[in-house]
Amino acid sequence: MSKVKTGIGRRSFIKSVSLAGGGLIIGFSWLGCARNTEEAEKELGMQMPDEWFELNGYLKIGDNGIVTIYSPNPEIGQNVKTSMPMIVAEELDVDWNNVLVEQAPLNTAIFTRQLAGGSQSIRQGWESLRMAGATARQMLLTAAASQWEVPVSELSVEKGVISHSGSDRTIGYGEIAKAAVKVEVPEEVELKNNGDFKIIGTSRKNVDAKKIVTGQPLYGLDIHRDDMLIAMIVQPPSFGMEFKNMDAEKAKEMPGIKDVFTIDTYPEDMEKEWSDTGAFSKLVVVVGDSTWQVMQAKKALKVEWDLNPEMVKQIEILEKSPGLMDSGGLENSDIHNSLMAQVGSKKSEMIRKDGNPEAAFKNAARVIERSYSCPFLAHNCMEPMNFFANVTGDKAELVGPIQTPEFAEKSINKRLGIDLENIDIQMTRMGGGFGRRLYGHFVIEAAVISQKMGAPIKLVYTREDDMTNGVYRPAYHVTYRAALDGNNNLTGFHVNAGGMSESPLFANRFPAGAIDNYLAESWAVESNISIGAFRAPRSNFIAGAEQSFLDELAEEMGKDPIEFRLDMLKRAKNDPVGENNDYDPARFAGVLELVRDKSGWNNGNSSQSRGVSAYYCHNSYVAQVLDLTLKNNEPVIGKVICAVDCGIVVNPDAAKNMVEGGTIDGIGHGLYSQLSFKDGTPQQSNFDTYRLIRHREAPKQIDVHFIDNGIDPTGLGEPPYPPVIGALANALYKATGKRMYKQPFISELQGDFKT
Count CB atoms within 10 A of the CB of residue 174. 22
Per-residue confidence (pLDDT) for residue 15, from 0 to 100: 39
Residue spans per domain, the chain: 2-213, 220-310+385-460, 476-750
Is residue 358 helix, strand or coil? helix
Domain 220-310+385-460 has CATH 1.10.580.10: no
Structurally, what CATH architecture does the domain formed by 2-213 represent? Answer: 2-Layer Sandwich (3.30)
pLDDT tens, residue by residue, 266-321: 999 999 999 999 999 999 999 999 999 999 999 999 999 998 877 665 555 434 55
* 76 close to 428: Cβ distance less than 8 angstroms: no
* 234 close to 284: Cβ distance less than 8 angstroms: yes
pLDDT tens, residue by residue, 609-619: 999 999 999 99
Is the pLDDT at 53 greater than 50? The verdict is no
The three-point CA angle 454-459-465 to 5° equals 140
Q: How many residues does the chain have?
A: 755
Q: Identify the band that residue 533 occupies on the pLDDT scale cut at 50, 70 and 90.
A: very high
Is residue 325 helix, strand or coil? helix
For residue 668, which of 434, 498, 505 has the smallest C-alpha distance? 434
Domain 476-750 sits in CATH at 3.30.365.10
Is the pLDDT at 755 greater than 50? The verdict is no
Distant-in-sequence, close-in-space partners of 499: CB < 8 Å, separation ≥ 6: 340, 474, 475, 476, 477, 524, 525, 541
Say how far apart CA 547 and CA 616 lie, in whole Å.
Answer: 11
* 357 close to 519: Cβ distance less than 8 angstroms: yes
Is the pLDDT at 404 greater than 60? The verdict is yes
Say how far apart CA 218 and CA 215 lie, in whole Å.
Answer: 8
* 373 close to 499: Cβ distance less than 8 angstroms: no
Q: Is the dihedral of CA 119, 125, 127, 130 positive or negative?
A: negative
* 135 close to 26: Cβ distance less than 8 angstroms: yes
Residues paired with residue 313 on neighbouring β-strands, in sequence order: none
The predicted model gives 687-704 an average pLDDT of 97
For residue 385, which of 451, 432, 340, 336 has the smallest C-alpha distance? 432
Could you tell me which residue, 320 or 208, shows the higher pLDDT?
208
Say how far apart CA 100 and CA 221 lie, in whole Å.
Answer: 25
- Comparing 336-345, 392-401, 578-587, the range with the smallest average pLDDT is 336-345
Per-residue confidence (pLDDT) for residue 59, from 0 to 100: 67
Per-residue confidence (pLDDT) for residue 32, from 0 to 100: 31
Is the pLDDT at 11 greater than 60? The verdict is no
Is the pLDDT at 701 greater than 60? The verdict is yes
Say how far apart CA 729 and CA 722 lie, in whole Å.
Answer: 12
Give yes or no on whether 2-213 and 476-750 have one common fold: yes
The predicted model gives 679-686 an average pLDDT of 96
Say how far apart CA 627 and CA 624 lie, in whole Å.
Answer: 10
* 262 close to 243: Cβ distance less than 8 angstroms: yes
Is the pLDDT at 752 greater than 70? The verdict is no
Q: ω into residue 511 within 30 of 0, thus cis?
A: yes
What rounded mean pLDDT belongs to the chain?
A: 89
Say how far apart CA 28 and CA 185 lie, in whole Å.
Answer: 13
Q: Identify the band that residue 117 occupies on the pLDDT scale cut at 50, 70 and 90.
A: confident
Per-residue confidence (pLDDT) for residue 510, from 0 to 100: 98
Residue type, 700: K
Share of the chain above pLDDT 70, in %: 89
Residues paired with residue 230 on neighbouring β-strands, in sequence order: 288, 458
Q: Identify the band that residue 46 occupies on the pLDDT scale cut at 50, 70 and 90.
A: low
Count CB atoms within 10 A of the CB of residue 566. 18
